[in-house]
Chains A and B, each alone.
Chain A
Amino acid sequence: MPHTPQPPDRRRFLTGATALGAASLLGRAPAVLAQSKAPLKIGLLNSFSKVFAALGNANLNGMTLYFEQIGGTIAGRKIEIIREDDEINPQVGLQKLKKLVESDNCDLITGIQASNVAMAAVEYFRQSKAFYLCNGAGVGDLSYTGIPYLFRCSISTQPIHATFGEWYYDNVAKEAVTTASDFAGGRATVGEFKAGFIKKGGKITKEIYPPLGNNDFSAYLADIRSIAPPATYNFYAGTDAVRFVKQYDEYGLKAKTKLTGSGFMVESDTLPAQGKSALGALSSLHYADTLDNPENKKFVADYRAKFNEYPSVYSEYGYIAARILHLALQQVDGNTQDKDKLRAVMRELKFNAPRGPFRFNPVTQSPIQNVYIREVAEVDGRITNKVIQTIRDVVEPPTKT
Chain B
Amino acid sequence: MDARAKRIAGWVALIVALALVPLSGNYATSLAAEVLVFAIFAMSLDLLIGYTGLLSFGHAAFFGVSAYTMVILGVHLGWSGWIGFAAGIVVSAALAAAIGFFSIRVSGIPFLMLTMAFAQLLMSVSVKWRSVTGGTDGLSGFRRPTLFGWSLDDRALQFYVIAAGFLLVLWFLRRLIASPLGSIFIGIRENEQRMRAAGYPVQRFKLVSFTIAGALAGIGGGLYALQNAFVSSDILHWSLSGDAIIMVILGGTGTVIGPAIGAAMFLLIKNVLSSRTDYWLLWVGVVFIACVMFLPQGVWGWVRARVAAWRSR
Direct contact of A and B (CB under 8 A): yes
Chain A 164-183: CB-based contact to B (< 8 A → 1; otherwise 0): 00000000000000000011
In the bound complex, CA of A116 to CA of B130 (Å): 13
A331 within 8 A of B: no
Contact indicator B228/A91 (Cβ below 8 Å): yes
In the bound complex, CA of A122 to CA of B232 (Å): 14
A203 within 8 A of B: no
Contact with B275, one of A9, A84, A115, A127 (Cβ below 8 angstroms): A84
Contact indicator B27/A119 (Cβ below 8 Å): no
Which of the candidate stretches B101-109, B134-142, B162-170, B248-256 sits at the interface with the other chain? B134-142
Contact indicator B138/A183 (Cβ below 8 Å): no
In the bound complex, CA of A294 to CA of B224 (Å): 50
B192 within 8 A of A: no
Contact indicator A6/B278 (Cβ below 8 Å): no
A381 within 8 A of B: no
In the bound complex, CA of A4 to CA of B141 (Å): 19
A71 within 8 A of B: no
In the bound complex, CA of A365 to CA of B249 (Å): 48
Contact indicator A11/B136 (Cβ below 8 Å): no
B203 within 8 A of A: no
A196 within 8 A of B: no
Set of chain B residues within 8 Å of A10, measured between Cβ atoms: 23
With A90-B138, A116-B137 already in contact, the answer to whether A102 and B234 are too (CB < 8 A) is no
- Chain B binding site: helix, strand, loop or mixed by DSSP? helix
Set of chain A residues within 8 Å of B42, measured between Cβ atoms: none
Contact indicator B136/A6 (Cβ below 8 Å): no
Contact with A90, one of B141, B155, B230 (Cβ below 8 angstroms): B230
- Docked complex: A43-89 residues within 8 A CB-CB of B: 48-49, 53, 84-85, 87, 89
- Docked complex: A82-121 residues within 8 A CB-CB of B: 84-85, 87, 89-91, 94-95, 98-99, 102-103, 115-116, 119-120
B146 within 8 A of A: no
B281 within 8 A of A: yes
With A11-B25, A139-B137, A184-B135 already in contact, the answer to whether A95 and B278 are too (CB < 8 A) is no
A185 within 8 A of B: yes
Contact indicator A120/B28 (Cβ below 8 Å): no
What residue of chain B has the Cβ atom nearest to residue A139's Cβ? B137
Contact indicator B27/A103 (Cβ below 8 Å): yes
Interface centre among B23, B124, B135, B141 (most CB of A within 10 A): B135
Contact indicator B280/A49 (Cβ below 8 Å): yes
In the bound complex, CA of A103 to CA of B232 (Å): 26
In the bound complex, CA of A119 to CA of B137 (Å): 7
Contact with B154, one of A7, A87, A99, A116 (Cβ below 8 angstroms): A7
Cβ of A347 to closest chain B Cβ, rounded Å: 25
B26 within 8 A of A: yes
Interface centre among B34, B153, B278 (most CB of A within 10 A): B278
B14 within 8 A of A: no
In the bound complex, CA of A85 to CA of B30 (Å): 17
In the bound complex, CA of A285 to CA of B224 (Å): 38
With A49-B281, A183-B136 already in contact, the answer to whether A102 and B141 are too (CB < 8 A) is no
Contact with A84, one of B30, B230, B274 (Cβ below 8 angstroms): B274
What residue of chain B has the Cβ atom nearest to residue A141's Cβ? B137
Chain B 92-132: CB-based contact to A (< 8 A → 1; otherwise 0): 00000000000000000000000000000000100110100
Set of chain A residues within 8 Å of B292, measured between Cβ atoms: none
Contact indicator B136/A116 (Cβ below 8 Å): yes
Cβ of A123 to closest chain B Cβ, rounded Å: 6
Interface centre among B124, B136, B228 (most CB of A within 10 A): B136
Contact with A103, one of B25, B224, B228 (Cβ below 8 angstroms): B25
Contact indicator B274/A49 (Cβ below 8 Å): yes
- Docked complex: A140-199 residues within 8 A CB-CB of B: 141, 182-185, 187
B147 within 8 A of A: no
Contact indicator B278/A91 (Cβ below 8 Å): no
A12 within 8 A of B: yes
In the bound complex, CA of A94 to CA of B229 (Å): 10
Set of chain B residues within 8 Å of A84, measured between Cβ atoms: 274-275
A22 within 8 A of B: no
Contact indicator B275/A6 (Cβ below 8 Å): no
Set of chain B residues within 8 Å of A127, measured between Cβ atoms: 153
Contact indicator A183/B140 (Cβ below 8 Å): no
Chain A 362-375: CB-based contact to B (< 8 A → 1; otherwise 0): 00000000000000
In the bound complex, CA of A345 to CA of B127 (Å): 40
Contact with B224, one of A91, A139, A185, A187 (Cβ below 8 angstroms): A91
B39 within 8 A of A: no
Chain B 22-63: CB-based contact to A (< 8 A → 1; otherwise 0): 011111101100100000000000000000000000000000
Cβ of B117 to closest chain A Cβ, rounded Å: 15
In the bound complex, CA of A120 to CA of B278 (Å): 22
Contact indicator A116/B26 (Cβ below 8 Å): no
Chain B 269-313: CB-based contact to A (< 8 A → 1; otherwise 0): 001001100111100000000000000000000000000000000
Set of chain B residues within 8 Å of A102, measured between Cβ atoms: 25-27, 30
Chain B 210-228: CB-based contact to A (< 8 A → 1; otherwise 0): 0000000000000010001
Interface centre among B25, B153, B229, B230 (most CB of A within 10 A): B230
A212 within 8 A of B: yes
Other 14 A-B pairs with CB < 8 A, given A91-B228, A103-B28, A120-B232: A9-B26, A11-B24, A12-B25, A90-B138, A90-B232, A91-B34, A99-B27, A102-B26, A115-B137, A123-B230, A141-B137, A182-B127, A187-B130, A187-B135
B interface residues, Cβ below 8 angstroms from A: 23-28, 30-31, 34, 124, 127-128, 130, 134-138, 140-142, 153-155, 224, 228-230, 232, 234-235, 271, 274-275, 278-281
Give 16 CB contacts A-B under 8 Å: A9-B25, A12-B25, A49-B281, A85-B274, A87-B274, A90-B138, A90-B228, A91-B34, A91-B224, A94-B230, A95-B31, A99-B271, A122-B140, A141-B137, A183-B135, A212-B127
Ordered nearest first, which 9 A-B pairs have the shortest CB separation?
Answer: A103-B27, A184-B137, A102-B27, A183-B136, A120-B230, A184-B135, A48-B278, A102-B26, A184-B136
